[in-house]
Structure 1
Amino acid sequence: MKKIFLFMVTGLMFVGCFGKKEDVASKIIGNTYVLQKVIDGSEVDVTFEKDRLSGKAGVNNYFANYKIDGQTITIENPGSTRMMGPEELMKQEQEYLKNLNEAKNIKLTEKGIVITTTSGVQLDFDKK
């Protein structure tokens, strides 16, 4: 009897570790998120649609296809308009688009989302 009980408890613990994946994709579609910690006076944001995202990268608008599986996100080569702006905003924009291209994980937070890149950079967004 003891063995059966231990087997059942172990099985339940094992199943709990591999429970249902959080459905991040369905919770972010149709929402706009604003990147925190940007240069004063600039705004960087992202809006998620079904398989596509778009937004303002500081100076230019950008767009890309994306895929989410659980908390793993892949953003495919973001493209953007090609307007020029102040040098510091252009540097911020280039860094942001580079980080989006390296996106690896996405997590829902109380305020919005956090996207983490392959190099460990965290992009912290608040819901607009």
Structure 2
Amino acid sequence: MRKGTLIPESHNQTRALRKVCMYNPDLARYELHRVWTRELEGNMKKRSVSFGWAILFVTLLVACHGSGAGVTMPAAANIEGTKWLLTEVSGAPVSPMAGEKQPHILLDPAQKKITGFAGCNNFFSGYELDGSSLKFASVGSTRMSCPDLQMSLETEVFKALDKTSAWKISEDVLLFLDGRDILARFAMAQGDERATDSELKITGAVWQWVQTLYNDDRKAVPADPTNYTVQFQEDGTLNVKADCNQKGGTYSASAEERRLSIEITHSTMAACPEGSLEDEFVRGLTAAAIYFIKDGDLFIDLKYDTGTMKFSK
């Protein structure tokens, strides 16, 4: 306190607390109680508390309690197991472009993994959740290239995940926070959007190979996609048509991390005509690392980021 005044010395802190009450009442209440405790401890020997601090405490406490319910830690069950749709990142509103799906996240409490769509690519990461504290591990993603606007959005999403240190939910709005800064806002998905994306399902359909685009800009394009197909079965086996030969094998897929591995175990031994892409097609399948589906097409990223295979139904 300054001599002759009832206003606390840290007037900027007072104004800051009022502002935080509006946007993050839980954080403001915590900070207010911390400051009040420190003031009490400093005046214990005097056995008195300044009148200015008493008025300030009551005023801010009422304001903050009017902004939310109690000083409680958020329940982890609220953030985990729910699909959240991105509505704002880095202070800018987010809305999906025509024909595009909305960026979203899903935290899996069993595996402690986050999966989602960042605007162009699907991504995955681990996370640590402790009360209101939230930290994400390094993010992995598919390697699809998109228009500049979508790529810029994706960059901001990944930056927000990297900086996130806390979270808060208020009226079905999820906030990712870095101290007092709001990094991203999410709305709780409604209705059918709550379910895991059905588009992750790759079984049943006969996928026709459209092309492979390699990272050195080479392309492999079959003259007839119907001669190069793969069909994933529910039991973990797969059927492959590679030009003039029929092949089979096994696969494993992780919808959470979009990981895919394929092993060809048997094949017919016909001699395919000159110009056949049989070997290149099979090499691509057995080099599968990550998969995703966009606009109904299946994309398989190859190991070591060497290229991407595209399939259509």
Give the aligned partner of residue 149 of structure 2: 88
Which amino acid in 2 is paired with 1:49?
Answer: D
| Identity within the alignment, % | 26
| Residue matched to 2:40 | none
> How far off its partner does 1:120 sit?
2.4
Return the offset for 1:122.
Answer: 2.5
- Aligned pair partner of 1:70 in 116, 123, 131: 131
| Runs of 5+ unmatched residues, structure 2 | 1-69, 88-92, 190-313
For 1:121 and 1:29, locate their aligned partners in 2 and report how far apart those are by CA, in whole Å.
Answer: 19
| Contact 1:64 1:79 (C-alpha < 8 Å) held by counterparts | yes
Which has the larger Rg? 2
Secondary structure, aligned partner of 2:119: coil
Determine whether 1:27 maps to 2:88: no
Q: Which moved more, 1:19-28 or 1:45-54?
A: 19-28
Q: Does the aligned pair in 2 maintain the 1:39–1:89 contact within 8 Å? A: no
- 2:94 corresponds to: 38
Q: 2:128, 2:135 within 8 Å by CA — same for their partners in 1?
A: yes
RMSD: 2.1
Could you tell me the TM-score, scaled by structure 1's length?
Answer: 0.76
Structure 1: gaps (5+ residues):
1-18
Q: Which amino acid aligns with 2:136?
A: I
Structure 1 residue 22, shift from structure 2 partner = 2.3
Per the TM alignment, residue 70 of structure 1 is displaced from its structure 2 partner at its CA by: 1.1
What is the DSSP-based 3-state SS (H/G/I as helix, E as strand, rest coil) of the residue aligned with 2:149?
A: helix
Between the aligned partners of 2:147 and 2:95, the Cα distance in structure 1 is 11
CA apart distance, 1:27: 2.0
Please state whether the residue corresponding to 2:181 is helix, strand or coil. Answer: coil
1:83 counterpart SS class: coil
Runs of 4+ in 1 over 4 A off after TM superposition: none
- Higher RCO, 1 vs 2 (CA within 8 Å, ≥6 residues apart): 1
Larger mean Cα displacement after TM superposition, 22-31 or 63-72? 22-31
Q: Does 1:47 align with 2:106?
A: yes
